[in-house]
Structure 1
Amino acid sequence: MPVKQVTDDARFQAELSNAGASLVIVDFTASWCGPCQRMAPVFDSLSNKYTQAVFLKVDFDQCQDIAAAHGVTAVPTFIFFRAKAKLATLRGADPASLEAKIQELVGQEPEGASSEKVQGHVDMSVFFDRSAQECLNESDDHPLAGCLTSGDGFLESDCDEQLIISLGFTQPVKLHSIKFQAPSGQGPKTVKLFINQPRTLGFDQAVGMEPIFVKDNQANTETTRINYLVIYGSPINMTNMGDFKRVAGKKGESH
């Protein structure tokens, strides 16, 4: 897919909107920047390799408002978006790091998700805070992480059929729906939801309030199993503070 040149904010916003849930990589560049010129053919090559993503190029001098709005003070800077929300920022002319970040973020979209998406919403797994995930009564052999990606892993309860799942997000989000994929007998039956709490709940509290409380399963078997847990929703457009890093060097140039 060819790289699209963005010349103003209206075009920039339109491209982000049109991309939907696809990954968008924005290259902030400048004609006077030597590292930018060295990265240009690399960026073009990656756009042809990762055709499921959208590649945009923004001139740092021509589009200063866009650069300022996204905290770009040095070039080259690469910013990654999905559903108009910023996922990550990468600074400097490092082809290997750029491709590694693209692979990481492209890979976060589950296989086959395009045919299962909820209209107007995206898979929120890209906004999970991996350091703020917890599941009470998870099996040591099959913990929560096993059901958060589409693969061979799964989550299974330990001593009975109940589970309490707490999922944190890297920024404010609006949740729309939850989908479970599970074996017919072991899949969740009674599921209760409510807002995230500052601390993990116990099972006694979970009768009345819980993040995701699985009370029982379809066939009343000893354990509950979840092969894949998907949460659909949309991010509230705010700055992800996890993107900020201290950068050395002169203003206007990245090293």
Structure 2
Amino acid sequence: ETAASYGVSSMPTFKFELRGRIIDTMSGADPTALATKTESLVNSAGSQTPMKSEVPGAPGMVDLEQFIVQKNCLNENEDHPFKWVFEDNKDLYLESDCDAEILMSMTFNQSVKLHSIKCQGPDTGHAPKTVKIFINQPNLMDFDAGRDNTPVQQLQLSKDDVVEGNIIPLKFVKFQSVNNVTLFFSDNQSDEEVTQIQRIVIYGKTISTTNMEEFKRISGKKGESH
């Protein structure tokens, strides 16, 4: 479970963490390379500052793309692929292929909390409208599952939401420990044949690792049962 949560596919794998955030990864049994990387990260750690919030009024919430290790999309037009929703360029966009539905999934390299989402589209009827949000799926979903299953949350995006790129709050309490997220877009603003999405941003924060040294014994002695 730990390997899956951190996206580990080979052994040994070393994960370097700072303030509860993975800042680097190294695979392979190379002591010299490990020592060099460790020294470099230790030297640079002192100059790093906590990430500033990218969501007004929500401290610590940032774009989680940097923590995504796997991205999948069903029904993408090969001329307008999924990868372009992560580019901040309105001339690039994801377009559905044979109908209006799009099913995308993203896996994080560690557990995260989701706070809000931005789904940006063109100023036309092709911009997305209804999106179902699923989390922690054991396998990649298909369209039947997207249509039939109950999501954690469903959003109805207005034209202003998608054109202006408004940040839409999620039900934060329901997204407290997320390893992967699946977005099912079922239609668009004007029931056009295809859907176009210019930008997807998921905001949240990582779940910091617990430091057991911070816990204090409140009764008894070390080694005693309670």
Task: Answer yes or no: same fold by TM over 0.5.
Answer: yes
| Partner Cα distance (1:215, 1:193) in 2 | 11
Q: 2:65 aligns with which of 113, 125, 132?
A: 125
User: What CA RMSD, in Å, does the superposition of the two structures yield over aligned residues?
Assistant: 3.3
In structure 2, the residue matched to 1:236 is: 207
Q: Aligned pair 1:86/2:22, yes or no? A: yes
The CA deviation string for residues 91-142 of structure 1, in whole angstroms up to 9 with x for no partner, is: 5669xxx7xxx9xxxxxx9xxx97755622111111011xx21111111111
| Partner Cα distance (1:157, 1:118) in 2 | 34
In structure 1, the residue matched to 2:132 is: 192
- Of the structure 1 ranges 166-175 and 230-239, higher mean CA displacement relative to structure 2 is found in 230-239
Which structure 2 residues correspond to residues 13-28 of structure 1 after superposition, within 5 A? Answer: none
Query: Following TM superposition, where does structure 1 have runs of at least 4 consecutive aligned residues deviating by more than 6 angstroms?
Result: none
Q: Which amino acid counterpart does residue 201 of structure 2 have in structure 1?
A: V
Pairwise CA distance, 1:187 = 1.4
The CA deviation string for residues 38-95 of structure 1, in whole angstroms up to 9 with x for no partner, is: xxxxxxxxxxxxxxxxxxxxxxxxxxxxxxxxx99xxxxxx675x741221585669x
| Partner Cα distance (1:154, 1:212) in 2 | 16
Q: 1:223 aligns with which of 175, 194, 203?
A: 194
In structure 2, the residue matched to 1:177 is: 116
Query: How many residue pairs end up in the alignment?
Result: 147
| Partner Cα distance (1:89, 1:202) in 2 | 31
TM-score normalised by length of structure 1 = 0.50
**Larger RCO: Structure 1 or Structure 2 (Cα < 8 Å, ≥ 6 residues apart)?**
2
In structure 1, the residue matched to 2:80 is: 142
In structure 1, the residue matched to 2:107 is: 168
| Partner Cα distance (1:217, 1:142) in 2 | 17
Cα distance, 1:118–1:233 mapped onto 2, change above 3 Å? farther
Cα distance, 1:143–1:238 mapped onto 2, change above 3 Å? farther
Contact 1:166 1:196 in 2 (8 A): no
Give the secondary structure class of the aligned counterpart of 1:193.
strand
In structure 2, the residue matched to 1:153 is: 92
State the percentage of identical aligned residues: 39
Contact 1:161 1:217 in 2 (8 A): yes
| Partner Cα distance (2:54, 2:142) in 1 | 37
Pairwise CA distance, 1:198 = 2.1
Contact 2:114 2:202 in 1 (8 A): yes
Give the secondary structure class of the aligned counterpart of 2:135.
coil
| Partner Cα distance (2:208, 2:53) in 1 | 23
